[in-house]
Amino acid sequence: MSHADLATIRHYHRLSKHLPERYAPGPGQLDWKNQPNPFRRFAGSPLLPLPMARHGGLRYRQLYTPATAPQALTLEALGALLELGLGLSAWKEIDGSRWALRNNPSSGNLHPTEGYVVLLQALSPDMPAGVYHYAPHEHTLEQRAIFGAAAIAELQALLPGIPALLGLSSVHWREAWKYGERAFRYCQHDVGHATAALAFAARTVDWPLHLLYGADDNAIAALLGLDRNADFADAEHEAPDLLLALGGDPDDYPERLGISHLQAVLADSRWQGQANQLSPQHVAWHALQQVAEASQQMGGWPTVRLPAAVAAEAASTDDNPDAVMTIRLRRSAVSMDGSSRLTQSQFRELLQRLMPADTPPWQALPLPPAVSLLLFVHHVQDLAPGLYLLARGKHHAERLQQQLRTPHLGWQAVPGYNVPLFCLSHNTDWRDAAQLVSCRQEIAADGALAVAMLADFDATLSDIGPGAYRSLFWECGLLGQILYLQAEAAGLSGTGIGCFYDDLLHRIIGLDLEEEQWQSLYHFTIGGREEDRRLRSSAAYAHLQR
Ligand SMILES: Cc1cc2nc3c(=O)[nH]c(=O)nc-3n(C[C@H](O)[C@H](O)[C@H](O)COP(=O)(O)O)c2cc1C
């Protein structure tokens, strides 16, 4: 990685920190007339409606087992995958304003993440091999490009046994409109959440989803048509994030997929459609634009062999809800009751799910695990309240033990768990601290537990390269999506917390503020949701009347 890129990333990371006395630069107040449209559309692209997912198949816990990959990809499977991964979950309404929620959560519900399908073979006479954009409001694919015979042959040779790729991109402006410079971080969290949501959704239709690790950012942009400037003339550009392969054997995926490998494909593709403009005017956030440039990944991603899953506790079938319903019912809590607790077996299962494993969702991001979890335990059955640490990566425990240096914290392995859990502070009330570091948000104190995600920042940037600045947030997003679904399955709710005082947390746990070897990149809370009874809800797709 060049010194200039590293300097840009470090500068951005510092500038985008919230401190109690100074928040990261942002717009101050919201410019409602420029609120970005959450729905991207491509005018002139033919539309191909998709079927909805059917519930009553898989149980929730089966989501964490490997899929087998059926013989052929069907329209039903693709429809279910996109709905449960990126589709709408409900509409909410209050005082005349109405907004959609989605199965993938998003910071501020702004939804910067766009989804694409690259079909390597025809799914039906109406749906030839080509590139499609997913329109969640209509649950429809928009046909962006059709591949000719030469393009199909080339892609099938490059990607044997893969019927389709899923692509993700981000409209940074959607988050920047509200959050200014810090928005780049939230876009990356959202990519992580969407990746996990897609991996679980794919599992409901028995398709494995793996990172196409060789693809670099220019190749992703070219394949998805994001670099076709004329198609985005007045419209906000989308930054390439990642490509995920449905099926195939990851050992056969190309080590390197650069733009030069796609020349024959691009030469034999016919494009259509014009992106819509999402806001009439834009504000440029310069550090965000610079870090987006500096954190591109140009050599693909180094992957690891994931370990077999830690054996999860046997759970009774009546405690194992329907997978599709659990995904659709996931909601963020805006307020928590301060009393609900996790049972001991729910807590154990949660810890096990958070460990890296060769199952969904980790197969979709098989990078070296770089994030460990600091747990503010408030109400967990048979566990003293206090501060705990779940060590997820190689040597994390030893290294963190040396780095978390304050006189008031200890380091004691907690016996009886089949994951590396350590107690840092025993029988102590961390509710006020959890709330304070989470920008004083009460949900961090009123849950059963709160989490701060500690990333092995310095070492991962030097091992993986500049793209690690994005993949660290993606890993946090995957962890967040597991926390959301585990909470839902336990009859509780989760909430992602992107607003936190970075260095206050670091100071409290004794991390050196100058070195930035470990950085907290995301917070989370799980607890008993208090409903806002003023809000009215309606069904996700009542407006389609198909
Ligand atoms: C990356 C991320 C950061 C978030 N940060 C906060 C936060 O700081 N405070 C909060 O109350 N909710 C936060 N949320 C929750 C979102 O507001 C919520 O996901 C969104 O409104 C959509 O609602 P849903 O999750 O119920 O679909 C965050 C969500 C994500 C994914």
Q: How far apart are CA 81 and CA 206, in angstroms?
A: 10
- Are 342 and 448 contacting, i.e. CB atoms less than 8 angstroms apart? yes
CA angle 293, 368, 201 (to 5 degrees): 85
Strand partners, 211: 244
Using a 6 Å CB cutoff, which residues line ligand 1?
101, 105-109, 186, 189-190, 193, 331-332, 334, 441, 495-499
Taking the centre of ligand 1 as the mean of its atom positions, its distance from the CA of residue 332, in whole angstroms, is 6
In this prediction, residue 317 carries a pLDDT of 58
What's the pTM value of the predicted model, to 2 decimals?
Answer: 0.98
CA angle 498, 504, 505 (to 5 degrees): 65
Hey, what are 59's tokens? Answer: 């149980």
Q: How far apart are CA 50 and CA 132, in angstroms?
A: 12
Hey, what are 390's tokens? Answer: 């779940």
Q: What does the DSSP assignment read for 403-429?
A: H---TT---EEPTT-SS-EEEEEES--
Residue with tokens 């239709």: 205
Backbone angles phi, psi at 535, to 5 degrees: -80, 135
Q: How far apart are CA 364 and CA 191, in angstroms?
A: 12
Specify the amino acid at residue 100: A
Backbone angles phi, psi at 35, to 5 degrees: -60, 125
Hey, what are 424's tokens? Answer: 């840092």
Helix (H) or strand (E) run with residue 117 in it: strand 113-119
Per-residue pLDDT of the chain in tens (546 residues, 90 and over written 9): 789 999 999 999 999 999 999 999 999 999 999 999 999 999 999 999 999 999 888 999 999 999 998 889 999 999 999 999 999 999 999 999 999 999 999 999 999 999 999 999 999 999 999 999 999 999 999 999 999 999 999 999 999 999 999 999 999 999 999 999 999 999 999 999 999 999 999 999 999 999 999 999 999 999 999 999 999 999 999 999 999 999 999 999 999 999 999 999 999 999 999 999 999 999 999 999 999 999 999 889 999 999 998 776 655 556 899 999 999 999 999 999 999 999 999 999 999 999 999 999 999 999 999 999 999 999 999 999 999 999 999 999 999 999 998 889 999 999 999 999 999 999 899 999 999 999 999 999 999 999 999 999 999 999 999 999 999 999 999 999 999 999 999 999 999 999 999 999 999 999 999 889 999 999 999 999 999 999 999 999 999 976
Residue with tokens 């070296």: 368
By C-alpha distance, which of 447, 425, 423 is closest to 434? Answer: 447
Residue nearest to atom 22 of ligand 1 (CA): 109
The angle that helices 286-294 and 183-204 make with each other, rounded to 10 degrees, is 50
Q: How far apart are CA 538 and CA 91, in angstroms?
A: 5
Ligand 1 pocket test: which of 106, 331, 493, 531 has the largest number of ligand atoms within 8 Å of its C-beta? Answer: 106
In this prediction, residue 313 carries a pLDDT of 61
The dihedral through the CA atoms of 319, 323, 325, 329 has a sign that is positive
Residue with tokens 């939230």: 186
Q: How far apart are CA 248 and CA 214, in angstroms?
A: 14
Q: How far apart are CA 47 and CA 134, in angstroms?
A: 10
Q: How far apart are CA 277 and CA 171, in angstroms?
A: 11
Helix (H) or strand (E) run with residue 219 in it: helix 217-224
Q: Does 70 sit behind a cis peptide bond, omega within 30 degrees of 0 on the bond before it?
A: no
Taking the centre of ligand 1 as the mean of its atom positions, its distance from the CA of residue 125, in whole angstroms, is 40
* DSSP assignment letter at 234: S
Taking the centre of ligand 1 as the mean of its atom positions, its distance from the CA of residue 273, in whole angstroms, is 32
In this prediction, residue 537 carries a pLDDT of 96
Residue nearest to atom 29 of ligand 1 (CA): 107
Q: How far apart are CA 121 and CA 375, in angstroms?
A: 46
Hey, what are 225's tokens? Answer: 């048509």
Residue nearest to atom 20 of ligand 1 (CA): 109
- Are 455 and 520 contacting, i.e. CB atoms less than 8 angstroms apart? yes
By C-alpha distance, which of 435, 444, 453 is closest to 525? Answer: 444
Sheet holding 421-426, edge to edge: 412-413, 421-426, 386-390, 371-377, 449-456, 518-527, 493-497
Q: What does the DSSP assignment read for 462-518?
A: HHH-TTHHHHHHHHHHHHHHHHHHHHHHTT-EEEEE---BHHHHHHHTT--TTT-SE
Ligand 1 pocket test: which of 495, 520, 529, 532 has the largest number of ligand atoms within 8 Å of its C-beta? Answer: 495
